[in-house]
């Protein structure tokens, strides 16, 4: 089977494999995409047919990515156990509403599904997200993968070493091999690089870990956000739909909030387990307005802990410099002829994607919050669902100019963010107005390299 036929067959198989996922995605609705925060299942942000044409005289010679693991099971049963404990107590007292009586079976099914694949592990949906992303990469770069196959260029694979990241790498490379069988033998066994792809947990970033644990400004702003009256209002509204008035009155505000936030955590995790728990939908148990508020609370934590954070401070994202350096180093080595790699594929976590997005100045990823104006949906475009959904990815493609004597840049770079052509930060100048192609030397200048 030739490359085109293999890719077409793999794409068709991938499409068929997603039929069972469509119900959950459609039920959630794109308009409600942001209610799931960083647990949002992945969807490409641009149609492959609508990309800019490659400038005449250039050929793709290398590609590299940084990808978050795909959709996964929740990290533990803690939230489910907390929700079930209160539901069981209310049931014993005959204090569940008709809606409340329907919740426990859904939660138990969801927990069983998560336990079945292992808490924190990649789900079937997550594996499918990675396979399809790989197939679309090949579709965008057919000539590159032909060259990789013809010249026997290695495809390097690096992960954080965490099971869901390693499984994501396996699913992605399986997609590559399905679409272009000739590259299967060129895909290297994954290697672990925690300094590069799990840097938030490494000793050299002890200052960041101290920020999370002890920074008074961080603690104060999150406490202020949590204390907004809308938190207690959303929690009470959620609980009163599930419990009788008498039972509800036995719960103080902190108990109601804890219950509602645990329920929201399950709500946001359920779409990621659409294959393992196909009958589970928690949409009925949280109104869109309440879910939106709890999503905001989660986004606020992500924003201050992993995103752009406070104005004038770089503690949350400066550590991603090691990853940005590696993106440049790999492209520069290919351009210099010191690397024979055809592709470098990296699989990591939200804790790395969000800082990298801020450091790169990607759209919606870098606006900081003033100390006296806490982050909100009204004053900042940062959204977890857009910055770092499941399987979020950043890709750089390197193009080489034909050796025909024409005066033009030797190498161009195009960036994709969640598969959308994306401009580099302000101050970096593309080769033409509105172009997404940049001279590699211009990017080096813009980012202060060399």
Beta bridge partners of 156: 344
For CA atoms 352, 304, 259, 242, the dihedral sign is negative
Judge whether 131 and 14 are in contact, CB under 8 Å: yes
Q: Residues spanned by CATH 3.40.50.1240 within the chain?
A: 1-18+39-72+122-209+315-424
Class of domain 1-18+39-72+122-209+315-424: alpha beta
Residue 204 DSSP label: G
Distances, alpha carbon 95 to alpha carbons 21, 121, 264, 283, 314, in Å: 35, 35, 21, 21, 49
- Tens digit of each residue's pLDDT, the chain (450 residues): 455 556 556 555 554 444 344 333 333 333 455 799 999 999 999 998 899 999 999 999 999 999 999 999 999 999 999 999 999 999 999 999 999 999 999 999 999 999 999 999 999 999 999 999 999 999 999 899 999 999 999 999 999 999 999 999 999 999 999 999 999 999 999 999 999 999 999 999 999 999 999 999 999 999 999 999 999 999 999 999 999 999 999 999 999 999 999 999 999 999 999 999 999 999 999 999 999 999 999 999 999 999 999 999 999 999 999 999 999 999 999 999 999 999 999 999 999 999 999 999 999 999 999 999 999 999 999 999 999 999 999 999 999 999 877 889 999 999 999 999 999 999 999 999 999 999 999 999 999 997
Judge whether 160 and 191 are in contact, CB under 8 Å: no
d(CA 354, CA 142): 30
pTM of the model: 0.93
From the list 123, 118, 39, 110, the residue with the least C-alpha distance to 81 is 110
Beta bridge partners of 437: 414
């Amino acid at each position: 089977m030739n490359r085109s036929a293999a890719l077409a067959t793999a794409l068709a198989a991938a499409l068929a494999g997603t039929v069972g996922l469509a119900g959950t995605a459609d039920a959630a609705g794109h308009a409600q995409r942001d209610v799931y925060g960083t647990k949002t299942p992945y969807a490409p942000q641009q149609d492959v047919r609508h990309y800019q044409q490659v400038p005449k005289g250039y050929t793709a010679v290398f590609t590299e990515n940084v990808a978050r693991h795909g959709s996964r099971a929740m990290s533990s049963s803690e939230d489910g156990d907390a929700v079930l404990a209160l539901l069981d107590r209310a049931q014993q007292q005959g204090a569940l509403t008709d809606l409340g009586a329907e919740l426990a079976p859904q939660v138990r099914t969801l927990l069983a599904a998560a336990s079945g694949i292992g808490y924190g592990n990649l789900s079937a949906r997550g594996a499918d997200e990675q396979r399809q992303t790989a197939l679309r990469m090949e579709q965008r770069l057919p000539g590159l993968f032909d060259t990789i196959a013809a010249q026997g260029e290695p495809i390097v694979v690096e992960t954080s070493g965490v099971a869901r990241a390693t499984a994501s790498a396996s699913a992605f490379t399986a997609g590559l091999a399905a679409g272009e069988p000739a590259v299967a033998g060129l895909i290297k066994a994954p290697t672990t690089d925690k300094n590069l792809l799990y840097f938030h947990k490494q000793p050299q970033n002890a200052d960041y870990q101290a920020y999370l644990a002890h920074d008074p400004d961080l603690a104060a702003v999150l406490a202020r956000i949590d204390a907004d009256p809308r938190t207690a209002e959303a929690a009470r509204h959620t609980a009163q739909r599930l419990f009788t008035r008498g039972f509800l009155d036995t719960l103080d505000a902190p108990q109601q909030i804890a219950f509602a936030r645990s329920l929201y955590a399950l709500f946001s995790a359920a779409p990621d387990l659409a294959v393992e728990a196909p009958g589970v939908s928690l949409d009925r148990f949280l109104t869109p307005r309440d879910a939106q508020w709890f999503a905001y609370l989660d986004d606020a934590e992500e924003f201050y802990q992993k995103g752009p954070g406070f104005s004038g401070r770089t503690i949350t994202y400066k550590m991603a410099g090691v990853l940005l350096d590696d993106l440049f180093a790999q492209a520069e080595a290919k351009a210099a002829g010191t690397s024979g790699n055809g592709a470098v594929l990296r699989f990591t976590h939200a804790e790395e994607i969000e800082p990298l997005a801020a450091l790169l100045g990607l759209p919606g990823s870098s606006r900081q919050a003033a100390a006296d104006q806490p982050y909100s949906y009204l004053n900042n475009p940062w959204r977890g669902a857009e910055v770092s959904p499941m399987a979020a990815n950043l890709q750089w493609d390197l193009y080489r100019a034909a050796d025909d004597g024409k005066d033009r840049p030797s190498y161009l770079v195009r960036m994709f963010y969640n598969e959308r052509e994306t401009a580099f930060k302000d101050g970096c100048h593309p080769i033409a107005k509105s172009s997404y192609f940049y001279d590699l030397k211009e990017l080096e200048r813009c980012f202060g390299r060399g």
